[in-house]
Amino acid sequence: DAGADDYLSKPFGIGELQARLRVALRRHSATAAPDPLVKFSDVTVDLAARVIHRGEEEVHLTPIEFRLLAVLLNNAGKVLTQRQLLNQVWGPNAVEHSHYLRIYMGHLRQKLEQDPARPRHFITETGIGYRFMP
């Protein structure tokens, strides 16, 4: 294929395939690293340092709130389904607990939105999930 970085000749072992996949994933994640500093409204988020400021004040987030925020920021502008968010934040066994997601989205809005009742950045996509709009 045009643009292929690697190939395997038959026959090949599963170990060789797995090793090459790991290398390709490492290479992709190194080049597609998101910007560690995200700004929206009066909020500045340093993903690498795990520090959030709203204006001059530092905002404390719980580990789950921070993971949820990071997933949303890394997918800015995209609609993420409840299942995707639950899987990425809580893991694959938490899919049935969508009420957790509503609660934590409320926490993020309270801490980071100027008007949590009318959010501009943490948008609910009814029946689907959520979207972060910078």
Q: Is the pTM value of this prediction over 0.85?
A: no
What is the widest separation between alpha-carbon atoms in the chain? 60
**CA distance linking residue 41 with residue 1, whole number of Å:** 44
Task: Give 26-54 pLDDT, tens digit per residue.
Answer: 776 655 555 689 999 999 999 999 999 99
Q: Report d(CA 15, CA 128) in Å as an integer.
A: 39
CATH number of 60-132: 1.10.10.10
Angstrom distances, CA of residue 111 to CA of 1, 105, 108, 119:
48, 10, 5, 11
